[in-house]
Amino acid sequence: MMMPARPLGDYLREWRQRRHLSQLEFALEAEISQRHLSFIESGRSLPSRDMLMHLAERLDVPLRERNPMLLAAGFAPVFPERSLDDPALAPARRAIDVILKGHEPFPALAIDRHWTLIAANAAVAPLLSGVVDATLIKPPVNVLRLSLHPNGLAPRIFNLQEWRAHLLERLRQQIVATGDPLLSDLLKELTAYPMSATHKPSAPSRDYAGIAVPLELVTDAGRLSFISTTTIFGTPVDITLAELAIESLFPADQATAEALKEMAALVQES
């Protein structure tokens, strides 16, 4: 069995502090005594597996990070990490394919925890036709890099300044939630990108009443306006599924909806 790199108390203390909770606040949240929590964090007491899982759940610790905590407490890891091609995940993979296909003619894609493209429906490819740097759409494709790189989609995003701020804020929130160092590196890379020399800062051309940050993409079919939703698996016990999200783009106006339908029809005819 792999030996834990750190004491259990260090893990719990780190995640408690990451959630900005004092010992007393977290003890109340977890419905245990502050004394008991203090003993666990100091190493004077080891919790049962059920108690440890309870504490991790209350702290919203990602499944990936719960396995090291279990090891540190002397328990075997319980959360597997399998490829989406694994037969055990076949029902989940079918569900992903159904969602992506069912969203056509509107774009939808599945990404992993690092925003790497896992799958996309047929409506996505036509939107990438103007990408200058072909390496950005060569697998593995990082969706954030593709979106914000000066040689990617950035020059074609009409409201780039607003959309960029929205994506970077989402990434910052994800870093706070997960503590993933690779995401921190990605944030540094993205924030260093210069704004396209040909791009003029613009606000979105329509008022969405503050309900969503739109994506306004300039294409051969005209300016397309989208709002997005994120879908995740509700009760995953596999690390891969817990870290997978489906990003769905919906037309924000009738003109965009009609343009996407026409683009889909042209793809089918070709």
User: What's the mean pLDDT in 119-123?
Assistant: 96
Binning pLDDT at 50, 70 and 90, where does residue 209 land? Answer: very low
In words, the CATH class of domain 87-269 is alpha beta
Q: What was the pLDDT predicted at 206? A: 57
What's the pLDDT tens digit per position in 252-263?
999 999 999 999
User: What's the mean pLDDT in 215-232?
Assistant: 94
DSSP of 190-236, one letter per residue? HHTPPPPTT------SS--TTS---EEEEETTEEEEEEEEEEE-SS-
Residue 111 exposed, middle or buried by CB count within 10 Å (0-12, 13-18, 19+): buried
User: What's the mean pLDDT in 92-113?
Assistant: 97
Count of other CB atoms within 10 angstroms of residue 26: 22
Domain map (residue ranges) of the chain: 8-72, 87-269
Q: What was the pLDDT predicted at 1? A: 45
Is the pLDDT at 172 greater than 50? The verdict is: yes
Is the pLDDT at 119 greater than 80? The verdict is: yes
Distance CA 210, CA 249 (A): 17
Binning pLDDT at 50, 70 and 90, where does residue 268 land? Answer: confident
Q: What is the pLDDT of the chain when averaged over all its residues?
A: 92
Is the pLDDT at 124 greater than 60? The verdict is: yes
Q: What was the pLDDT predicted at 270? A: 64
What's the pLDDT tens digit per position in 173-207?
999 999 999 999 999 999 999 976 555 555 555 55
Min mean pLDDT across 132-136, 154-158, 209-213 is at: 209-213
**Alpha carbon distances (Å) from 233 to 181, 202, 218, 230:** 24, 35, 32, 10
Max mean pLDDT range (111-115, 206-210, 219-223) = 111-115
The reply to whether domains 8-72 and 87-269 share a CATH topology is no
Q: What was the pLDDT predicted at 267? A: 74
Is the pLDDT at 218 greater than 90? The verdict is: yes
CATH of region 8-72, choose from 2.40.128.110, 3.30.43.10, 1.10.260.40, 3.80.10.10: 1.10.260.40
User: What's the mean pLDDT in 240-254?
Assistant: 96
Is the pLDDT at 3 greater than 60? The verdict is: no
Q: Which pTM value belongs to this model?
A: 0.88
Is the pLDDT at 142 greater than 60? The verdict is: yes
Percent of the chain predicted with pLDDT > 90: 85
